[in-house]
Structure 1
Amino acid sequence: MELTKRIEEIVSNYNDRLPFSGAIFIQNEKKIFEKGFGYANRSEHLPITTRTRFGMASGCKIFTSVAICQLVEKEIITFDTCIKDCLDISFQHFHPSITIHHLLTHTSGIPDYFDEEVMSDFEELWKAVPMYSIQSPNDFLPMFQDQQMKFQPGSKFSYSNAGFILLGLIVEKMTGITFQEYVKENIFQVCEMTDSGFFRMDQLPERTALGYIDHEDGTWRTNIYSVPIIGGPDGGAFTTVLDLAKFWNGLFDRKLLGKEYVDKLLSPYVKNEGLCYGYGVWMAVENDEVLKYFIFGYDPGVRVHSSVNKKTKIQSHILSNIEQSVIPIVTGIDQLFSEKSRTL
C-alpha cells in the first residue's frame, strides 16, 4: 500500500503544463501497480484504464526488429545481407554495402524522411504528403529513396525512421504478406496481445484513447490528421500497458525467438548520448553492464516508455495520450525501486 501511494505521488507531482493522462502498469513476478489517469475521450469523459489502447509511435520498432530476427533465425536472410540483394527497388544514391544490421542499428547512413536531427514537427510532413495516402511501407519511398546518403554505412549512429521502413519492406518481400499482418500473426497472436494492432486512425476500435494536442490558449484537438492513417514498421501500432508486459514476457520466455536471437536482439551494438542501442531496443549501461532494456516513442498526442530492469526483473510500462514527456515519471519510478532495493 505504501508503494502504491508513493507511485501515485510521483504521478501527481508530475503535473507540468498538464496533469498526466495515460496508463501505468508495473510488475515483476506479480503485479505491483496498475492504474489509469485522465480521459481516453475528453468529449465523452471516458476514463482511461489499463485496458485502454494507445498509439506507441516509435516504440513499436522493436516489433520490426523481432520480425527480422525471426527471418534470420529461419535462415531466410542474414544480418549481413545487403538491402540491394533482397529488395528490387531503385536507390540510386544508396551505398551498395548497406546491410540489414546497419538498418537495425541506425548506422546505415541513408537519408530519413523525418530526420529528427534537423526536424522537430512531425505534422509538417503531411502538408506536402497527405497523411491518408500513407497506408503501407511502400508509400514512404518517394519521401527519401532518391536522396543522397548522410554518411558511410557503419561509420556512426543516426536515428533513422526510413531504415525501419526498408526493414518492413524486407519482411513483406520475404514473407509475401503485409508487414502489419506478419506482426499480427507472428508477434501479437503468439504473445496473446489481444488488444494490440495496427489500427486505422479513421477506424479505431473500442477502448482506444484519442491522442490530444493541447494549445497554449487552453484549446485542444485530436491527432487524427497528424500521423499516417495506419502505422507500419517505423511506428504507429496501438497497444495497452498489459499487452506490453505480455510482449516482454513472451520475448524472455522465448516464445518469439530462441535464446541465441533474443541475445542478439538485446546486445548493445552502438552508443549514443550515454545510451546503447541493440536491434530496435535501447539500453542503459554502466561499466559495460546492461542495467535496463527499454523502448520509447513520441508522436503528436502519443508518448510511450516501456522498460525491463535486467537485475530486478521489474517491468514498468507507461502509455500516454498527451504531448508531455513521461520521463519525469520514469525517473521517479526508477529511483523509488532503486531505493527500495537498497533497503532489502
Structure 2
Amino acid sequence: MNINQIEKQVDTKQQEVQFSGTVYAKLGEQEFLKSYGLANRSEEIKNTGDTRYGIASGSKPITAAAVCLLVEQGKLSFDSKLQDYLAEEFPNFDKGITIHHLLTHTSGIPDYFDEDVMDDFEELWVKHPMYLIRELKDFLPLFQNEQMKSKPGSEFHYNNAGYIVLGLVIEKVSDMAFSEFVQTYIFDKLGMRNSGYFELDALPKNCAIGYLEKPDGGYRTNVYSLPAKSASDGGVFVTVGDMMSFWEGLIAGKLFNQELVSVYLTPHATIDKDDDFYYGYGHYIEANEKGINRQILMGYDPGVNFRAVFYPESGLRVIVCSNLSDGAYDMITEVQSVLK
C-alpha cells in the first residue's frame, strides 16, 4: 500500500467533493486513516479517527448478525415464520413470510419509506413526528396495516420495515431490548466500545452531527430529519475502527460458527444479474461464476453517508463514514482505484 499515493489522491478528491468524514483503508498490516471536515460546525470540532458517525442502513449487517446469533443459539431459524413470533397485528401480511425473506428484502411487506413512492425521507414526519419514534414499536403505525407489495420470495425490493420487524423478533426471542441485545452480544464481545444506538437529542461525546446543505449554501443539522433514536433498520453510531472490528470479528467466527458465517456471506437474492449484483444478509455482494469479488455495506440518511467494501481475495478493506448526505461513494471509489 503506497500511503503517500493514497493520501494525495484522497486529498484531491476531498477538495473536489468537499467531503466531511473519515476514510479508513486496511491491506494486510498496512493502514491508511484520515479525517476531514467538522463533526460539530457550531463549535468547530474536527472529525477524527475516534469520531462516532451514524451509518444509516449500514446498521442492517449488525441486525442480520444478531439474527444469526439467535439461530446458533437454537432460538430461531431462517425458515421460521414471522407469524409464529410476534403478537403485533399485521392484518394484511402473508402468513408465509420467513426470517430469511425479511433478511433478504424478499418478504414483499410494505415499507414505511417506499422509494417507488417517496423521494424525501423528511416527508415521513409530517404525520408521525420524529421525536416520538424512540422504540421499535413506534414504527409500526407507519406500515403495519398496509397491503403487501408482492408475494414472499418472489422479488427483491429494498425494505426498511422488514428490518424493523426483525428487530421486534430479536426482542421477542431474546427477551431483551434490541439495542441491549446488540450491545451485549456484539459490541461488547468484539470490543466495539464506541458504538451504540443513541438518541439524536441526547448524543454522547465524540458523535458527529449530521448536516444537510441549505439552498443558500449554509448547513442545518439532521435532528428533524430522522427518528429520535437509531433502530434495527438503521442509524447506529460507530467509529471506523469499530466497524472494522465488526467485520473482522464476524468473518473470523467470533460471533457465530463458520457455517453460519458462510450463510451470512452468501448471495441470497438477485438484484441485477447482468451487473453481478446480489444481496446477502444485511449487505450487498458483487459476485460471478468465479466467486465473490467484494462484500459491500452502504447507508444513506439525510446528513449521513456510509460506504464499506471488503475484498475476500486480496484482503483489502475500506470504510468511509461521512456526516454529510453524500461524498462517501466518491471517496471509497478513489481508494479502490488505487488499491484494488
TM-score (norm 1): 0.95
**How far did residue 308 of structure 1 move?**
1.1
Q: For residue 109 of structure 2, what is the aligned residue in structure 1?
A: 110
Letter in 1 for 2:328: V
**How far did residue 29 of structure 1 move?**
2.6
Residues 283 and 290 of structure 1 are in contact (CA less than 8 Å); yes or no, is this contact kept in structure 2? yes
Q: For residue 236 of structure 2, what is the aligned residue in structure 1?
A: 237
Count the aligned residue pairs.
Answer: 337
Q: For residue 10 of structure 2, what is the aligned residue in structure 1?
A: 10
**How far did residue 11 of structure 1 move?**
4.1
Deviation digits for residues 264-298 of structure 1, max 9, x if unmatched?
11100111133111110111113351111121001
Mapping of residues 294-313 of structure 1, within 5 Å = 294-313=296-315
Residues 19 and 327 of structure 2 are in contact (CA less than 8 Å); yes or no, is this contact kept in structure 1? no
Residues 137 and 169 of structure 1 are in contact (CA less than 8 Å); yes or no, is this contact kept in structure 2? yes
Q: For residue 192 of structure 1, what is the aligned residue in structure 2?
A: 191
**How far did residue 333 of structure 1 move?**
1.4
Q: For residue 341 of structure 1, what is the aligned residue in structure 2?
A: none
Mapping of residues 36-185 of structure 1, within 5 Å = 36-185=35-184
Residues 244 and 306 of structure 1 are in contact (CA less than 8 Å); yes or no, is this contact kept in structure 2? no
Deviation digits for residues 117-142 of structure 1, max 9, x if unmatched?
33221111111111111111111111
1:327 maps to 2:329: yes
**How far did residue 4 of structure 1 move?**
3.1
Q: For residue 29 of structure 2, what is the aligned residue in structure 1?
A: 30
Residues 11 and 329 of structure 1 are in contact (CA less than 8 Å); yes or no, is this contact kept in structure 2? no
**How far did residue 112 of structure 1 move?**
0.3
**How far did residue 202 of structure 1 move?**
1.1
**How far did residue 42 of structure 1 move?**
1.1
SS of alignment partner, residue 313 of structure 1: coil
SS of alignment partner, residue 201 of structure 2: coil
**How far did residue 59 of structure 1 move?**
0.3
1:259 maps to 2:258: yes
SS of alignment partner, residue 113 of structure 1: coil
Mapping of residues 197-208 of structure 1, within 5 Å = 197-208=196-207
Letter in 2 for 1:113: Y
Deviation digits for residues 203-226 of structure 1, max 9, x if unmatched?
111111110001231121000111
Residues 13 and 334 of structure 2 are in contact (CA less than 8 Å); yes or no, is this contact kept in structure 1? no
The gaps in structure 2 that reach 5 residues or longer are none
1:250 maps to 2:249: yes
Residues 23 and 50 of structure 1 are in contact (CA less than 8 Å); yes or no, is this contact kept in structure 2? yes
Residues 301 and 321 of structure 1 are in contact (CA less than 8 Å); yes or no, is this contact kept in structure 2? yes
> Distance in 1 between the 2:34 and 2:229 partners?
28
SS of alignment partner, residue 102 of structure 1: helix
**How far did residue 327 of structure 1 move?**
1.6
SS of alignment partner, residue 189 of structure 2: coil
Q: Compared with structure 1, are the counterparts of its residues 212 and 8 closer, same or farther at alpha carbon in structure 2 (3 Å cutoff)?
A: farther
Please, what is the CA RMSD of the aligned residues?
1.4
**How far did residue 2 of structure 1 move?**
4.4
SS of alignment partner, residue 334 of structure 1: helix
**How far did residue 14 of structure 1 move?**
4.6
Letter in 1 for 2:253: R
Letter in 2 for 1:45: E
Letter in 1 for 2:26: Q
Q: Which deviates further from its counterpart, 175-184 or 211-220? A: 211-220
> Distance in 1 between the 2:64 and 2:313 partners?
23
> Distance in 1 between the 2:61 and 2:232 partners?
9
SS of alignment partner, residue 202 of structure 1: helix
Q: Say which of 285, 288, 303 aligns to 1:286.
A: 288
Deviation digits for residues 8-56 of structure 1, max 9, x if unmatched?
423423545x511000111133242011101111121111111000001
Letter in 2 for 1:208: C
Q: After TM superposition, which residue ranges in structure 1, 4 or more long, deviate above 4 angstroms?
A: none
Q: Compared with structure 1, are the counterparts of its residues 182 and 92 closer, same or farther at alpha carbon in structure 2 (3 Å cutoff)?
A: same
> Distance in 2 between the 1:130 and 1:145 partners?
17
> Distance in 2 between the 1:50 and 1:270 partners?
34
Give the share of equivalent positions with the same residue, in percent. 41
Residues 82 and 99 of structure 2 are in contact (CA less than 8 Å); yes or no, is this contact kept in structure 1? yes
